Chain A
Amino acid sequence: MFARGLKRKSSEDAEDADGGVAGLPAAPSYTLQRQSLLDMSLVKLQLCHMLVEPNLCRSVLIANTVRQIQEEMTQDGTWRVVAPQAAGRAPLDRLVSTEILCRSGREQEGEGDCPLPDPAPGQAPRRPQSSPWGLDGSREGRGGFQKSLDHIFETLENKTPGSVEELFSDVDSSYYDLDAVLTGMVGGAPTGPGLPAFAPTAAAPPSSTCRSDLGELEHTVEILVET
């Protein structure tokens, strides 16, 4: 599998972590593994979006991983150009290479259960080669899932490096705009080093639906804090 994590190998280095096909340069294998990791990460982030209350630490770590891969692929110049898929390198290998150790863990944690519903969607949508699964580029079986993956890829590809922040933009509006309202009792935005920490938040305007409910509370807190 990935030996000691996923290390960079020079293209002359014939050593392959998977004991890959003899004679093939290691670079495609590394690219394949990196792509697999990217796909997995994007799926996890999507799951994060779907979850009721995402674990922020986990989301941030996964997003940072995606960013790293993206940066490297941009430097490689492989971000748009996908390395030609080696003949005989079935996507099944990629499933095998990410073998799951946890025996009963899948039953317990829905979050941990993150298999690709269909091996083929793991492929980048822009690979011109026909899939060894015999679908020959057709995408019928992978419909909805492929669409959402496409969307993410599009988002990543059409923007400048660092566009992975877009992944947070959905989350941002729904979860974090309410932040100012909900933390009205706590000293909020650090607007300057000299300001006292317990000054009530006045900067961000609360959502209009909440204003009437919490306006009175904020007013009360303001009085309490300033006395």
Chain B
Amino acid sequence: MELKKTQADIISTVEFNHTGELLATGDKGGRVVIFQREQESKNQVHRRGEYNVYSTFQSHEPEFDYLKSLEIEEKINKIRWLPQQNAAYFLLSTNDKTVKLWKVSERDKRPEGYNLKDEEGRLRDPATITTLRVPVLRPMDLMVEATPRRVFANAHTYHINSISVNSDYETYMSADDLRINLWNFEITNQSFNIVDIKPANMEELTEVITAAEFHPHHCNTFVYSSSKGTIRLCDMRASALCDRHTKFFEEPEDPSNRSFFSEIISSISDVKFSHSGRYIMTRDYLTVKVWDLNMENRPIETYQVHDYLRSKLCSLYENDCIFDKFECVWNGSDSVIMTGSYNNFFRMFDRNTKRDVTLEASRENSKPRAILKPRKVCVGGKRRKDEISVDSLDFSKKILHTAWHPSENIIAVAATNNLYIFQDKVN
């Protein structure tokens, strides 16, 4: 059966929780779908758990901003999980303007034997009640319910691009194009502004914030990236308003590659701390870079994602593809990094062996349990069989969002409105 593709189903964010048991996706229609990994059965120890739908709910609805006469999209820009502290799961989801804290909990028992209500929940006529009894909890089919616990609204004039939970688990930050705000989970009507790069005169605006993230262990440290290809590391202990950075990461420009598109392709679309907290990874249009926090003047590693696009920048500028925001992820041990590309390709780079691979997420090329075949793009000259030429690439099939299980080799890849989950082959 051919599923109808609609705009609303386009996946806009993918995120594993801290144990990897759950995988959340957000889409353009404001929905969140959570997948849960099946428990491995004792009989078949080698059969890896598969992910099945656990919960689906509408997180955000389209809104209309009457002051500006503008529509506010319901598209989920980011989802971030909170570490699990009790039986329930908590996640943050955000659209352009509003962050929400959702509680996802299971219910597998139901009280039966109410005095004042009948079995269908209708109120009983008090005159008919002649006995008193205590309701009893009886098992029921498992039901997963999602409830909004907090709504953090009205704090962003510009579009929210990032949210990040602090390692203190009490606060989190939300970043838009010009400002970053710090929230306490318990307080929704107030937030602290910790970064503000809005110029006094908007006509002087030349740089915006593109992504931000807290350090995984140091609750006072965070980084944010800019459209000029720079990263700033800030320490909240230094001052309340972190307009002065503690560290400034920027690679000197390569004069031989200078063009009118240099700035655009240097704009950082994603920044991620390594799990160790020692490195940060940034994604710009053509590369992924790894930076050591102790070295600000250049990255320690640079990986070419699709350098064959360098000669096509003008076309990509014309069709707006040059503004696509690709994300990047670390694997659990920080030894492999992954990012997406066009034609439903995604790339993995092994930092130790320096080997890289290009894989494709598409229905035609992969059946369940099939092994992914490495792909190759031919840049010129003779095209070998199985290679694809640059001009044949489909630029409407872009993989912007991927996620890596925190400890195992399981990856989730969002290809437009399809979600692919790949696992390591079991011996």
Residue positions of A touching B, CB distance < 8 A: 1-7, 33-34, 37, 40, 44, 52-53, 55-58, 60-61, 63-65, 68-69, 97-106, 108-109, 111-112, 114, 165-166, 168-169, 171-172, 174-176, 178-179, 181-183, 185-190, 193, 195-198, 210, 221, 224-225
Are the CB atoms of B154 and A185 closer together than 8 Å? yes
Are the CB atoms of B192 and A197 closer together than 8 Å? yes
| Given A5-B314, A56-B178, 17 additional A-B pairs, CB 8 A | A5-B259, A5-B260, A7-B259, A52-B71, A55-B159, A58-B320, A65-B260, A97-B314, A99-B315, A100-B315, A102-B395, A104-B394, A112-B319, A186-B193, A193-B243, A197-B192, A198-B193
In order of increasing CB-CB distance, the 5 nearest A-B pairs are A5-B259, A165-B203, A197-B240, A102-B395, A112-B320
Jot down 17 A-B pairs with beta carbons below 8 A, ordered by A.
A5-B258, A5-B260, A5-B311, A6-B259, A6-B314, A44-B320, A101-B393, A178-B67, A178-B157, A183-B157, A189-B196, A193-B241, A195-B241, A197-B194, A198-B193, A198-B240, A221-B189
Residues on A with C-beta less than 8 A from B9 are none
Are the CB atoms of B395 and A168 closer together than 8 Å? no
B230 within 8 A of A: no
Select B323's contact among A58, A176, A182, beta carbons within 8 Å.
A58
Are the CB atoms of B318 and A98 closer together than 8 Å? yes
Residues on B with C-beta less than 8 A from A175 are 68
Are the CB atoms of A4 and B323 closer together than 8 Å? no
Are the CB atoms of B207 and A185 closer together than 8 Å? no
Known contacts A5-B257, A60-B208, A176-B202: A53-B70 contact under CB 8 Å: yes
Dominant SS among interface residues on chain B: loop
8 A Cβ contacts from B307-350 to A: 310-321, 323
B391 within 8 A of A: yes
Chain B 225-256 interface 0/1 with A at a Cβ cutoff of 8 Å (1 = within): 00100000000000111011000000000000
Closest chain A residue to B316, Cβ basis = A101
Are the CB atoms of B393 and A40 closer together than 8 Å? no
Are the CB atoms of A187 and B321 closer together than 8 Å? no
B13 within 8 A of A: no
Determine which residue in A53, A100, A168 has the highest number of CB atoms from chain B within 10 A of its CB, and name it.
A53
Residues on A with C-beta less than 8 A from B394 are 103-104
**How far is the CB of A85 from the nearest CB of chain B, in Å?**
20
Known contacts A2-B311, A99-B315, A198-B192: A108-B396 contact under CB 8 Å: yes
Are the CB atoms of A182 and B396 closer together than 8 Å? no
**How far is the CB of B113 from the nearest CB of chain A, in Å?**
46
Closest chain B residue to A182, Cβ basis = B157
B131 within 8 A of A: no
Select B260's contact among A37, A44, A172, A193, beta carbons within 8 Å.
A37
A64 to B257, CA, bound (A): 18
Are the CB atoms of A52 and B70 closer together than 8 Å? yes
B100 within 8 A of A: no
**How far is the CB of B156 from the nearest CB of chain A, in Å?**
8
Determine which residue in A37, A68, A106, A187 has the highest number of CB atoms from chain B within 10 A of its CB, and name it.
A187
Are the CB atoms of B67 and A4 closer together than 8 Å? no
A185 to B202, CA, bound (A): 21
Select A185's contact among B190, B227, B257, beta carbons within 8 Å.
B190
Are the CB atoms of A69 and B396 closer together than 8 Å? no
8 A Cβ contacts from B380-418 to A: 391, 393-396
Select B320's contact among A111, A169, A190, beta carbons within 8 Å.
A111
